[in-house]
Structure 1
Amino acid sequence: MSSKVLTPQAAQTLLAQGAVMVDIRSADEYAREHIVDAQNVPMEQLNTNGMPKSETNAVIFHCNSGNRTVINAGVLDNCATCEVYILEGGLAGWKKAGLPVVKDASQPLELQRQVQIGAGFMILLGVILGTTVSPSWYALSGFVGAGLMMAGITGFCGLARVLMKMPWNKKAVA
């Protein structure tokens, strides 16, 4: 079976005929904003457990921009026993078409964005303090840069672990 790409309008028509929309983003991304009636089954779960059993003739997978979905198309094709479709442009394409989404601004930003903001802030702070106060502050930028490099190599991000424990992230839907 090979997945086909659908425009948001064609996907909406297919949904009205009983297709299921599956959001492959992480739970924290889904909690903040998602397509109305979309089910959240993160890609990591699909990789290990496959698709939950469902009585449908078609499933439409999507992510935020469409890139993750296209990259994982082969895995997604094997997850379902029915017709498999990919939403063109993902959530961003759906919103651009003016179709309904559920937004919950009380949910925290996605963890990846929090890490990017935190790391960027610490690197910038190290450069500013290194220039204005003491060159030893450059070590902060070096430390954060090394941490990001190790996170990329090992898959373990200490900053993400710390951020997950912050009070604002306790609201995230699991």
Structure 2
Amino acid sequence: MTITTISPKQLHDLVQTGTQVELIDVRTPAEFREVHVPFAQNVPLDQLDAAHWAKGRNGSTHPLYIICRSGSRGKQACDKFLSAGSANVVNVEGGTLAWDQAGLPVVRGKKTISLERQVRIAAGSLVLVGSLLGAFVSPYWIGLAAFVGAGLVFAGITDTCGMGMMLARMPWNQVPKAVPTGTNAATTSCEPGASSKCCT
């Protein structure tokens, strides 16, 4: 099924008309903290339960908008929703990068290394280590570089990245959640239809 898309400007103009918009940002908490659309809710892709969200929206026919860094993870999130039976999902073209580059309002925080850059750094490091060990220790280590290369080819073909999903769960990609006094921790997590201030 074809995924519907919307440009950042179109979405911004829609919000300016006073239309209630539900926008999910599926990047890691650390990426979200660095820069995000003011009315976005952070629900990391690796934690996204599309069926739960679909149920929590109580059959709402209003579009559910998805944004990530550049569009790829947003597409994966849309696929999850489509598989869960939610057809009215819309991916924001170009993600947060395109939104920011268009000069639209954003909330900025602590700088971080994007998940895509982390994948490139990790993959490059493994290839380098495998090549050096293969040259100076044992030729069998060349297999490490070949394994990483095969993984990158697979990621390019399927548009999914196992290394990226693993890195997304690392501590440095998480943000400690502040729990208000006297409030159960479960109430601070983003829920379907929650305020756009949730998890910011």
Q: Does 1:49 align with 2:55?
A: no
1:98-123 CA-to-partner distances (Å, cap 9, x unmatched) read: 112223335x4345643431341243
Q: How does 1:72-111 map to 2 (within 5 A)?
A: 72-73=77-78, 75-76=80-81, 78-79=85-86, 84-106=89-111, 108-110=112-114
Task: State the distance in 2 between where 1:139 and 1:97 align.
Answer: 49
- Pair 1:146–1:129, CA change in 2 (3 A): closer
Task: State the distance in 2 between where 1:76 and 1:170 align.
Answer: 24
Unmatched 5+ residue regions in structure 1?
none
Unmatched 5+ residue regions in structure 2?
156-160, 178-200
Task: State the distance in 2 between where 1:25 and 1:74 align.
Answer: 16
1:3 touches 1:84 (CA, 8 Å); kept in 2? yes
Q: How does 1:33-72 map to 2 (within 5 A)?
A: 33-44=35-46, 45-51=48-54, 52-53=56-57, 57-70=62-75, 72=77
* TM-score computed with the length of structure 1 as normaliser: 0.62
Tell me which of 172, 175, 179 is aligned to 1:172.
175
Does the residue aligned with 2:65 lie in a helix, a strand or coil?
A: strand
Deviation at 1:13, TM superposition (A): 2.1
Q: Does 1:136 align with 2:140?
A: no
Does the residue aligned with 2:98 lie in a helix, a strand or coil?
A: helix
- Pair 1:120–1:94, CA change in 2 (3 A): same
Across the aligned residues of Structure 1 and Structure 2, the Cα RMSD in angstroms comes to 4.1
2:126 touches 2:148 (CA, 8 Å); kept in 1? no
- Pair 1:29–1:141, CA change in 2 (3 A): farther
* TM-score computed with the length of structure 2 as normaliser: 0.56
- Indicate the residue corresponding to 2:188 in structure 1: none
Task: State the distance in 2 between where 1:6 and 1:35 align.
Answer: 15
- Pair 1:164–1:26, CA change in 2 (3 A): closer
Does the residue aligned with 1:50 lie in a helix, a strand or coil?
A: helix
Identity %: 26
2:65 touches 2:92 (CA, 8 Å); kept in 1? yes
Deviation at 1:11, TM superposition (A): 0.5
- Pair 1:47–1:171, CA change in 2 (3 A): closer
